[in-house]
Structure 1
């Protein structure tokens, strides 16, 4: 899978990884001949091959490095060329010398042109979200618990009470069940478990008591709330301290209503700071902070889930159903995977889930879970437009998992969950009929994003 000390070399192309031994490398005398061999394996003509080095090192904050495209070999033999290929990766040799953690590398073969550009953009988009997920590590979880900001005992007591009522309602006629908060209605009685009951309580607390949605921040000087976005700035040192990668800059009106001040709104990615101090933001901040809150509640496995149409939420593992369950803190939504397609009217393409707190990539393509079966053909067309090539994008997911030492979950899990979601909607309803348009955010902002209901055409 990698260029190791024994001379083996892995070349990823679409969903396949071709491994070459030292003997096989020695039989090929030039890069031109080798490209011909790659054509035989991949079907990509030599003139259309985009070949670059991929390097993963666990010890780096941004562990994946991508080298420049290999364009010509200058007459070198392949064996002579391999060290040159390694040097083409940005700082490859330097990284290998100064990193103490394990590192792995391979070659990536894509079809040159727009498809390669889209595939690499797809790869880095996933990597950015993996970085967010990996920051929710055990140290952050312990700090969140120590802060006392998450009322874990209250959640557990309420969940135990609700869970007991559910059990009694199934065995004793006439026993009522407390249906508050509303998110608890989403899980069928037969499928609910104690973890799901805790998540139900956490959703209610997080949205209604703890976290604040921000379309635009209020003016810190005069308090006016209607500000104009002026632009985006780089973070100051104090903002970068909490992993802000960009800062939205708003301008207070200069008329009689406002004072003309500039207001900075850092988009923080430090989940502990968001959960315990900032307590505000949009979906990115909500999902990271809520995922950390679930971990602080000892929910055993949590994932961040993001779509390529700009929304992010969480999933948790259900012991009783033995699958991942959707939980969106922005909407206080539990087990409603078709909310975005059928409630909001979003035309989804890729939906990717990444398990939190790990220095390896444990991920899954969840697109078919969050899009009803009838809409899969249109979804796949959008996936191809977004990533350039569906097979190549799927291969990149597998490559990330392999290089990092993680795991890629496969479509059988997604299909089972999709079928369960379809069954739970009831045969007399159209898919998503009972699901609401987006609730988080101002109506005009929701409408501008096309998330105000299924009347919005699915393109």
Structure 2
């Protein structure tokens, strides 16, 4: 076992010891379970502080995100893509991408505070200083710099205001700060707590009339089976907390409810249902009757949706979901979240795919006047925010598009479409360049298709058993 893996195991054991109750009911009934529920309620209520939301809005580029969301809505409409995209949903997607790409930073081990070196090794966990405690830190990880020997402290802050300042952490910090940002921009958001050590966010889509999964760490939008199918997580309890209610949303995140129920040993199911109703009742006590009626109707619909979801098979894009991407390889391996894919996915390639986005490739004309440009792109899947379908058409060899469906042995597709008002384009040359890593994921078989009538695809060219890193046709 190397030093990184030993440290990862030590930190994982420490986190479970401090943050998680025993898997058996507490001797006095359900006190430990109830205490944890109450703490999560307090977490989400602080997001409603107007000063805190104003602080979040001071760092969120809301006007830019709203403008981009409006452009995205118009693009989907122009392309005739169904279903239509609502501005609220486009804003949620844009906020998610911005948070991951431009705002928050993942911390495996902190850089040395003295020399700035990245080679620091964990030496243990300490109690927080008064200053760290003021930022909501309940514990502090301690690291020693291999280069200069100095000590660096990594407080695990829980105060979202402090996180807006540090802009770094692991999944707890990410979900805490991101859920605040969702509330600040006006999304009806939940803080979702997974009893097997992960947290994320949901928001209510008024256009879709349902709650939508958001994971800022993985920049995952509406992929609730990511954890069970992709990561291989043996879930037990998944609860959603908002300013208005506390809901058991476990069924949204599993296709194995019968097996999962056997792992729910911390609380009696009848007690849990009753206690969640009590918590929700307290949160709604001051609300007007008409709003309580709306929440009740929405909850009833959600219960029906979750029940119906169990009868639906795992789709192709769900089956192709990857293991966890954030965190060091050793840390993910210790947690058992590297994925369960065997690379032999045989699911049909009728994938839902991404929505259309502008290719932003007009600059291609500067060095190649014949280049087709000005279109929109979508794909069977992508690894957002930096390895998306758009990157396949930017003309750069140092960026790439990655679809884990194809990487896991399945079929994948990439579509480029010109606006309806554009003249038909004749393609007489194209080039494919494989990425700079993981040669086992390089495309070796492909088919180039085109259409002119908007309905019927015609095969134009293709390649089989191609192993070169670049191919021009």
State the TM-score, normalized to the length of structure 1. 0.62
Q: Which runs of 4+ in 1 moved over 6 A?
A: none
Aligned: 1:369 with 2:252: yes
Residue 191 of structure 1 contacts residue 321 of structure 1 at CA under 8 Å; is this kept in 2? no
CA drift of 1:289 comes to: 1.2
- 5 Å matches for 1:211-226? 211-226=104-119
Q: State the match for 1:123 in structure 2.
A: 34
Give the secondary structure class of the aligned counterpart of 1:402.
helix
Give the secondary structure class of the aligned counterpart of 1:163.
helix
Residue 309 of structure 1 contacts residue 349 of structure 1 at CA under 8 Å; is this kept in 2? yes
CA distance in 2, matches of 1:202, 1:233: 34
CA distance in 1, matches of 2:307, 2:122: 39
Q: State the match for 2:238 in structure 1.
A: 351
Say how many residue pairs are matched: 308
Aligned: 1:285 with 2:173: yes
Give the secondary structure class of the aligned counterpart of 1:352.
strand
Cα distance change, pair 231–341 in 1 and its aligned pair in 2 (3 A): same
CA drift of 1:315 comes to: 0.7
CA distance in 1, matches of 2:181, 2:337: 27
Aligned: 1:399 with 2:278: yes
Q: 2:149 aligned to 233, 238, 260, which one?
A: 260
- Structure number with the bigger relative contact order (C-alpha 8 A, sep ≥ 6) is 1
CA distance in 1, matches of 2:65, 2:230: 28
Aligned: 1:152 with 2:62: yes
Q: State the match for 1:68 in structure 2.
A: none
1:167-192 CA distance string (max 9 Å, x none):
12227xxxxxxxxxxxxxxxxx4163
Q: 1:168 aligned to 56, 64, 78, which one?
A: 78
C-alpha RMSD over aligned residues: 2.5
1:198-256 CA distance string (max 9 Å, x none):
11111111111111000111111233323332222222222122222221122233xxx
CA distance in 1, matches of 2:260, 2:73: 38
Q: State the match for 1:435 in structure 2.
A: 321
CA drift of 1:369 comes to: 0.6
Aligned: 1:383 with 2:261: no
Cα distance change, pair 211–168 in 1 and its aligned pair in 2 (3 A): same
CA drift of 1:330 comes to: 0.4
Give the secondary structure class of the aligned counterpart of 1:136.
helix
Q: State the match for 1:37 in structure 2.
A: none
Give unpaired runs (5+ residues) of structure 1. Answer: 1-112, 172-188
Q: 1:416 aligned to 283, 301, 305, which one?
A: 305
Which structure has more helix as a fraction of its residues?
1
CA drift of 1:321 comes to: 1.4
CA drift of 1:326 comes to: 0.5
Q: 1:239 aligned to 132, 139, 155, which one?
A: 132
Residue 106 of structure 2 contacts residue 327 of structure 2 at CA under 8 Å; is this kept in 1? yes
Q: State the match for 1:56 in structure 2.
A: none
CA distance in 2, matches of 1:287, 1:445: 19
Give unpaired runs (5+ residues) of structure 2. Answer: 1-23, 286-291, 343-473
State the TM-score, normalized to the length of structure 2. 0.60
CA distance in 2, matches of 1:433, 1:319: 27
Aligned: 1:308 with 2:218: no
